[in-house]
Structure 1
Amino acid sequence: MGALIEINTDGLAKLAEIVGDWTGLNARGRERMADAEAYAEVRKVDTQNAIALARLEGEEQVARYIYARESRKMNNVRQIVDQAKTQFSEGEQVSSEPVNQDWQNRFFSIVEDVSDKEMQKLWAQILAGEIKRPKSYSMRTLDTLRNMTKEDAELFVVSTSYLVHNECICTEKEFGISLIDALKLTDMGVLSNEALTLTFTIPAHSYNHNSINQTTMITFYNDSDSIIKCTVDIKILTTTGKELLKLIPCQQNDIFINSLADFCKSKGCSKVTKNEIINWESDTYQFKRQNETEI
């Protein structure tokens, strides 16, 4: 059986340690699990014992069921761990803080039953992210993702293309996500139930910078003598929604951005421009002024 984990970075070593903890191999005296044989052998022995017992009792169908079930679970975990390996770069340093044992137990108990390839990618990102920075993903987030279908996940990805201020989803009737989709996201636990508004305030003869997401900033200009206020309907991502947002590349929705710009121009803005954000840290960002594009 080929290697599941080759220890060549600190991140991979920590991943190996976690899988070893979960299988119980570290507690049995092995300081670090480095390959698939460790995980596979533990599950193989347990499965063989269960199958042998079923056959002794004349339950051949039960034995076959156990074999099929355990093979599927083992393969699911191996696929996710294998993909998690790709999330670490050569020589990457990760946090020395250990990953919570209860978190590990919850994670692996869930991913044993995750067979969809796209969902496996998300779970692999979560595992790698938690190894790099423990407490990045709560157990509530694990349970939320566990209950998501592939279609639910796809809807969440689409909804993130309607971001404003990097944590609000625009629900404006004319150009935001639909009420039905907002309700679905609320039921999933990724979007708050409370309907709110966000107001862009642009002083007279001035402008107002606003981040849409971590890659795009828009600026509203006001050439008039009066303050302009543009108010749109929003809902805020829950803590779980914000954690899952970290798994998704920024979704650029030019139709939404153009509609938001048109809306604000209808309220009196003289022009609206778009810039690329080149560095994002928390709520502080830098952008390319020379690449400003009028919308």
Structure 2
Amino acid sequence: MSRPDDDGKGLVEAATEQGLAFVSGVPAGLQRSAKRVFGRLLGRWVAVPNARARAEAQKIDDETAARSLVMQKIVEAAALKAAADPTLVDRALNNFLADTLRRQENKDAITQTAEELLSQNQPEQSEIDPGDPDPDWLNVFEAHAERASGENLRLLWGKILAGEIRRPGSFSLSTLRFLSELDHSLAKKFNKYALFIEGDMMYIPKKKDQTSIREIAELEEAGLVVGASAGYSNTLQSPGGELKFRRGSCIVFIKTSGQESFKASGLMVTRVTKEIKSLVTSDDEMWCRNFEAALDATVVRVELIKANGAVEVLRGK
């Protein structure tokens, strides 16, 4: 690895052309953070602020010297072991190399997914540098990411990485741990009910069939919702007996029988649930239909105004 020159620019220039090109499509405000995070996961050294360049370079030299000393001792010990059992050492080296390559392939795929997501979805604040993800967070993330061999898992961790680069602090360590242990069955149930979340509530009709009762109980057992047995309700204000609000691409119009408030039944969701919800693709029309089913009897009419202007009456005449 090249040392910084007298102007302290060596480490910045040490970023390979391939590494720089890797973030070319990322919004300008996120490129600095993306280069640092991607560089770490890809095994490349990327941009370091000039004021810190010499200190970072010295740190690298110290670590390199220490590693060389340790490696020398390992090689000596390995040589002795190889003389006694060369086939054992050969198998150990093959396993080590295969495992290392597999872990790096996983991180490379996840990094590529994150880059694609950051390039495709560019919010208005994309020109503003949000800062870097916490180093401890990255340590935990990398440990999980390098074990994600399946396509779906790589996509999941790529979404998490993109979200954390865009807004550091979006995913807590608790959420990373939960997702690392999430099985396919629970994931399917969460994806189903995540479509009904808004804010701190998961809107669920009071009357539920046995399948829904069982699935919601599993979500509560996993720590994703609270109050599955008792249930909650959210009171919404309807001045003049009417309420109109936008839900994504749709507009919902609600009319009560004259009351200036009504209730919507549901469950409270936990912090982990709210963070994971951002990873699920929303369906505005489905949310509106489910929300209508969660409303109490004081609501006499519900209209769904779709993106194309069409009006669908969900309740009433």
Partners of 2:204 and 2:290 within 8 A in 1: no
1:192 partner letter: V
Give the C-alpha shift of residue 120 in structure 1: 1.2
**1:21-170 counterparts in 2 under 5 A?**
21=40, 23=43, 25=45, 29=57, 53=78, 56=82, 58=86, 59=88, 60-89=90-119, 92-163=126-197, 165-170=198-203
Secondary structure of the residue aligned to 2:108 is: helix
Counterpart of 1:172 in structure 2 is 205
For residues 103 and 266 of structure 2, the distance between their equivalents in structure 1, rounded to whole angstroms, comes to 40
**Which residue does the alignment assign to 2:9?**
none
Aligned residue type for 1:133: R
CA displacement 1:141-167 (0-9 Å, x = unmatched): 11111111233322211112233x444
| 2-structure distance, mates of 1:236, 1:216 | 24
- How far the C-alpha of 1:25 sits from its partner, in A, is 3.6
- 1:215-294 matches, within 5 Å, as 215-222=249-256, 224=257, 226-227=258-259, 231-252=263-284, 254=286, 257-258=288-289, 261=292, 264=295, 267-276=297-306, 291-294=310-313
Letter in 2 for 1:169: M
1:202/1:220 contact within 8 Å kept: no
Identical residues among aligned pairs (%): 17
Cα distance in 1 for partners of 2:40, 2:142 equals: 11
What secondary structure sits across from 1:270 in the alignment? strand
Displacement, 1:170?
3.0
Q: CA deviation at 1:192?
A: 2.8
Q: Which has the higher helix share?
A: 2
User: How far 1:210 moved relative to its partner?
Assistant: 5.7
CA spacing shift, 1:89–1:24, aligned 2, 3 Å? closer
SS at match of 1:88: helix
Q: Distance in 2 between matches of 1:109 and 1:263?
A: 41
TM-score (normalised: structure 2): 0.67
- SS of the residue aligned with 2:118? coil
Taking the aligned partners of 2:134 and 2:152, their CA distance within structure 1 comes to 26
Say yes or no: does 1:18 pair with 2:37. Answer: yes
Unaligned 5+ segments in structure 1 are: 31-45, 278-287
Residue 251 of structure 1 aligns with an amino acid whose one-letter code is D
In 1: Cα distance, 2:205 partner to 2:133 partner: 40
Q: Hey, what does 1:281 align to over in structure 2?
A: none
Alpha-carbon distance in structure 2 between the residues aligned to 1:210 and 1:75: 46
Greater Rg by CA:
2
- What is the TM-score with the length of structure 1 in the denominator? 0.71
The number of residue pairs the alignment matches comes to: 261
Residue in 2 that maps onto 1:38: none
Determine the structure 2 residue equivalent to 1:198: 233
Give the aligned partner of residue 284 of structure 1: none
Provide the residue aligned with 2:22 in structure 1.
Answer: 6
Distance 1:15 1:63, change over 3 A: same
Question: How far 1:217 sits from its partner (Å)?
Answer: 4.3
Deviations 1:177-201 (A, max 9, x none): 8122122222333323564322456
Distance 1:94 1:83, change over 3 A: farther
* Conserved 8 A contact 2:232-2:268: no
Structure 2 residue runs of 5 or longer lacking an equivalent are 1-16, 47-54, 59-70
In 2, distance between residues paired with 1:139 and 1:197? 28
State the shift of 1:174 in Å: 2.9
Cα pair distance change 1:94/1:150, threshold 3 Å: farther
Preserved contact between residue 198 and residue 233 of structure 1 (Cα < 8 Å): yes
